Amino acid sequence: MSRRPQSGRRDAPHARLGHGRRPDRARAALGQHFLRDRGIAGWMVRRARVGPHDLVMDIGAGDGALTIPLAARAGAVVALECDPVLAERLRTRTHTRETVTVVQRDFLAWPLPRSAFTVVANLPFGITTAVLRRLLDPRAPIARAVLLIERGAARRFTRCPASDPEIITWHTWFALIWERHVSPSSFVPPPTVDAAAIVLERRPSPDLPPSGWMGIGRSWKAPWSTRRFRSSGPSSEFSRRRSWCAPFTRSNWTGRRPSRRSRRTGGGACI
């Protein structure tokens, strides 16, 4: 018995993504949730405080929910999108805007600008940590970033005191600030978890020179990974981590304790 012919829509380019799944489900599996709330987009652009002389990057630009409002304020906007269909669609939407450059590249394989830049982006949840590792390298000339990420990751990155050695090194050169909660209804397709907006600000005077970043990161991480620390029990390990983190907690940076709200939600910044 012959099968019925498939419709043209099913075979259209990018009608389905990955193992025959629907586009929204496939994008959700990749952590791609496109921002549709114009109020959130406008707030992010204003919070970035970009001007006519600023270079701004939109990582995972998608359909341009942030690229379009950024183009009205920034001197130059680089919209990075690895999906060829979305990149071409965004080029069509922005072809009259001379300040916008759409680049079809993966951010993790794209060379960073050599001059100072700002990032305003709705990051794919699946690569948030990898993106932050590149942006928060002290050698990168990033000045500020306003990012939408998964809420649990936002709590972990902005919590004070930090316990992860890599996050501690980030706080050495940057202030990581929790700004606001963003509901799943602000995205298409809606994620199964809440999101949050965080702000990254480069510190005017870091506590350590960039040349010492990798070395001190290894020196903090190594003692925690040894068997003698793990065998001493969770409570002992926790107390050691708190003592190692002490120089970079809010109380030592500013002389005051974190607010009750910051301790409860993971908000604020270790400054």
Q: Which residues contact 69 (CB under 8 A, 6 or more apart)?
A: 41, 42, 45
Residue 253 has pLDDT above 60, yes or no: no
The model's pTM is 0.71
Whether 94 and 65 have beta carbons less than 8 Å apart is answered as: no
Q: What is the pLDDT of residues 160-204, one digit of tens each?
A: 888 899 999 999 999 999 999 999 999 999 999 999 999 999 998
Angle, CA of 23, 149 and 111, to the nearest 5°: 85
pLDDT tens-digit map of 86-124? 999 999 999 999 999 999 999 999 999 999 999 999 999
Exposure pattern of 225-258 as b/e (b: 16+ CB <10 Å)? eeeeeeeeeeeebeeebeebbeebbbeebeeeeb
**Which residues on adjacent β-strands are paired with residue 119?**
57, 145
- Distance (Å, whole) CA 11 – CA 18: 13
For residues 187 and 124, what is the distance between their CA atoms, to the nearest angstrom? 12
Given this model, what pLDDT does residue 236 score?
39
Those residues whose C-beta lies under 8 Å from the C-beta of residue 243, and which sit 6 or more positions away, are: none
CA distance 141 to 166: 19
Residue 208 phi, psi dihedral angles, 5° rounding:
-135, 150
Report which residue type is found at 191. P
C-alpha distance from residue 97 to each of 147, 172, 264 (Å): 24, 38, 44
* CA distance readout (Å), 255 to 66, 180, 208, 250: 38, 25, 19, 7
User: Residue 28: is its pLDDT beyond 90?
Assistant: no
CA nearest neighbour of 58 among 47, 71, 72: 71
Strands 76-80 and 55-59: parallel
How far is the C-alpha of 108 from the C-alpha of 75, rounded, in Å? 24
Look at residue 35 and tell me whether its pLDDT is greater than 50. yes
